[in-house]
Chain A
Amino acid sequence: MTNYFYTLLDSFGSFILFSLRVVKGVFERLFDWDRVFDEMYRLGVQTLPVACLTLLFVGMAFTFQIIQEFIKFGATKLIGGVVILAIVRELSPLLLGVVASGRIAASIAAELGSMSVTDQMDALKLLGKNPVSFLVPPKLVGVALMLPLLVCLCHFLGFLGGFLIVFSSNRINPFSYFQSAQVMLSFHDIFSSLIKVFCFAIVIVLVSSYFGLACKEGAASVGKNTTRAVVVSLVCVFILNYFLSNLLF
């Protein structure tokens, strides 16, 4: 038990040191924009279809669930507002965080892991580059810029999903759907959701890079650490989401 605790503490300590080195690397390379754009496309744009589909259908499912209850209580005029608040404050940032944990964390951990086990990290060191400050900062900046853009699209698609259900129900005035959303949604909600996904992006990139670079030898360790990266990223996103919701709303 004591050994386990020390190992955990040791890992946490090295993760903090690793994170500090990455942050230092970000400021040292202010910024290698070509590589940042590469990462934005590779990690961000390619996450777009999954994120869009997820939020469209979640928006539809959420509205479908609440619509009956709101009709029962005669509160149909509030549906648009409730949907947009649920989407913007929680569903959209959290689900984008989940999608990113699967898509982006796996991609980063597998890429860095396979580089580690094929001696490419050692080659980088011998060519005078520190793998951490060379490889991770462009990913961090790229994903941290991309997720806030993606979440705006997710907000729109989640709300659109809700609208499709409202429109097809024929029992609610579509105009009131938009009107209540306009009344209940504030700029603060949108801004806070951007802060949320920005924090998720940083955690996802740091965690997945840390596990990717920790791969030692063989394909098995790449698989194991990729799984770990996804699981730890997911857990971190859920925990962080709770605290940020408390702090921001």
Chain B
Amino acid sequence: MISINNLYKRFDQKVVVDDLTLTVDSGDRVAIIGPSGCGKSTLLKLITGLVPLDRGRVVLNSQTLTVDDYGDVPSTFLEQLGFLFQSSALFDSMTVKENVAFYHRETLQEQDESLINRVVRDKLAMVDMAGYENEMPSSLSGGQCKRIALARALAKDPKIMLYDEPTTGLDPFLSNNIENLIVDLSDTLKVTSLIITHQHSTIFRTAKKIYYMDDGKLIGPETPESILLSTHPKIREFFSAEVK
């Protein structure tokens, strides 16, 4: 479960996240939508401790992140989190196998190569990228990089997955592929998913609940069915702009 309480963040004079409270139940898939620059990605970075909180706290399955934890985020907090970056963020000096094996080899200092090989094989199979172990990220397409990044995140066996614009910049086929993966992983592994996106298809294919982010606050929740009927002017404007 993700529980965000009274989160507040300001960069200079601009308030990016304003006293935001959100709860995502275990196994749920929640999308946060909104126009570019509204603070969606910052919210994800606040949840992970990559950006320091000014106020508030984040609780992930009883592990708490507070203002004091910046720079020293508890490992028990990070262990639960998987994160898919918009840019994939694969380590470009490492092969696909080394990327996926990173958590076990470097963080857990796992010595058993057969275990590492099994993890890599399983996770690559999950994202339909088996056989790419020895490829370098630079030789892969954007969609393939996303899938490898997802396999790397899943290697931690996270209880919570955060997706930052998972389908932005991908063609409709690849978007569809990633969206199916998000849903499958959530359904089969019971992973709690928080998806930041402004892609129409991703919102409707992946989310059970949808929040609209505006001026650092969340509006909602809505369901994929109800959000199109919303009378909130910002939401109407967002969807009519997408359609246009």
Instruction: Report how far A126 CA is from B93 CA in the complex, Å.
Output: 18
Residues in A neighbouring B92, C-beta threshold 8 A: 115, 118, 120
Which residue on chain B has the smallest CB distance to residue A114? B92
Q: CB distance A129 to B89 under 8 Å? A: no
Which residue of the partner chain, among A111, A118, A128, contacts B89 with CB atoms under 8 Å? Answer: A118
Within A93-143, which residues are at the interface with B (CB < 8 Å)?
Answer: 111, 115, 118-120, 122-129, 134
Q: CB distance B89 to A122 under 8 Å? A: yes
Determine whether B87 belongs to the interface, using a CB cutoff of 8 Å to chain A.
Answer: yes
Within A176-233, which residues are at the interface with B (CB < 8 Å)?
Answer: none
Q: CB distance A129 to B106 under 8 Å? A: yes
How many chain B residues touch A (Cβ–Cβ < 8 Å)?
Answer: 23
Q: CB distance B91 to A123 under 8 Å? A: yes
Instruction: Report how far A123 CA is from B106 CA in the complex, Å.
Output: 13
Determine whether B209 belongs to the interface, using a CB cutoff of 8 Å to chain A.
Answer: no
Determine whether B85 belongs to the interface, using a CB cutoff of 8 Å to chain A.
Answer: yes
Q: Kindly provide the distance from the CB of A222 to the nearest chain B CB, expressed in whole angstroms.
A: 14
Q: Kindly provide the distance from the CB of B81 to the nearest chain A CB, expressed in whole angstroms.
A: 6
Q: CB distance B87 to A126 under 8 Å? A: no
Instruction: Report how far A128 CA is from B158 CA in the complex, Å.
Output: 13
Q: Kindly provide the distance from the CB of B84 to the nearest chain A CB, expressed in whole angstroms.
A: 10
Q: Kindly provide the distance from the CB of A12 to the nearest chain B CB, expressed in whole angstroms.
A: 19
Within B81-129, which residues are at the interface with A (CB < 8 Å)?
Answer: 81, 83, 85-87, 89-93, 102-103, 106-107
Given contact pairs A118-B89, A128-B75, A128-B78, A123 touches B107 in the complex (Cβ within 8 A): no
Q: State which size class the interface on A falls in.
A: 10 to 19
Instruction: Report how far A43 CA is from B86 CA in the complex, Å.
Output: 31
Residues in B neighbouring A115, C-beta threshold 8 A: 91-92
Which residue of the partner chain, among A120, A125, A128, contacts B91 with CB atoms under 8 Å? Answer: A120
Which residue of the partner chain, among A120, A125, A127, contacts B50 with CB atoms under 8 Å? Answer: A125
Residues in B neighbouring A124, C-beta threshold 8 A: 91
Which residue on chain A has the smallest CB distance to residue B50? A122
Residues in A neighbouring B103, C-beta threshold 8 A: 127-128
Given contact pairs A127-B102, A128-B75, A128-B79, A118 touches B107 in the complex (Cβ within 8 A): no
Q: Kindly provide the distance from the CB of A46 to the nearest chain B CB, expressed in whole angstroms.
A: 15
Instruction: Report how far A128 CA is from B72 CA in the complex, Å.
Output: 10
Instruction: Report how far A125 CA is from B73 CA in the complex, Å.
Output: 9
Q: CB distance A120 to B78 under 8 Å? A: no
Q: CB distance B78 to A123 under 8 Å? A: no
Determine whether B9 belongs to the interface, using a CB cutoff of 8 Å to chain A.
Answer: no
Residues in B neighbouring A128, C-beta threshold 8 A: 75, 78-79, 103, 107
Q: CB distance B83 to A134 under 8 Å? A: no
Q: Kindly provide the distance from the CB of A110 to the nearest chain B CB, expressed in whole angstroms.
A: 12
Which residue on chain B has the smallest CB distance to residue A117? B87
Q: Kindly provide the distance from the CB of A139 to the nearest chain B CB, expressed in whole angstroms.
A: 12
Which residue on chain A has the smallest CB distance to residue B49? A125
Q: CB distance A127 to B85 under 8 Å? A: no
Q: CB distance A126 to B91 under 8 Å? A: no
Q: Kindly provide the distance from the CB of B169 to the nearest chain A CB, expressed in whole angstroms.
A: 14
Instruction: Report how far A143 CA is from B238 CA in the complex, Å.
Output: 53
Instruction: Report how far A127 CA is from B93 CA in the complex, Å.
Output: 16
Instruction: Report how far A119 CA is from B152 CA in the complex, Å.
Output: 14
Residues in A neighbouring B106, C-beta threshold 8 A: 127, 129, 134
Which residue of the partner chain, among A111, A126, A129, contacts B83 with CB atoms under 8 Å? Answer: A126
Determine whether B48 belongs to the interface, using a CB cutoff of 8 Å to chain A.
Answer: yes
Q: CB distance B87 to A118 under 8 Å? A: yes
Determine whether B156 belongs to the interface, using a CB cutoff of 8 Å to chain A.
Answer: yes
What are 9 inter-chain pairs, A to B, with CB distance below 8 A?
A111-B93, A123-B90, A123-B91, A123-B152, A124-B91, A126-B78, A126-B81, A127-B102, A127-B156
A residues adjacent to B (C-beta < 8 A): 111, 115, 118-120, 122-129, 134
- Please provide the 3 A-B residue pairs with the shortest distance between their CB atoms, ordered closest to farther: A119-B89, A128-B107, A123-B89
A126-B48, A127-B106, A127-B156 known; 14 new pairs, CB 8 Å cut-off, are A115-B92, A118-B87, A118-B92, A119-B86, A119-B89, A122-B45, A122-B85, A123-B85, A125-B50, A125-B78, A126-B50, A126-B83, A127-B152, A129-B106
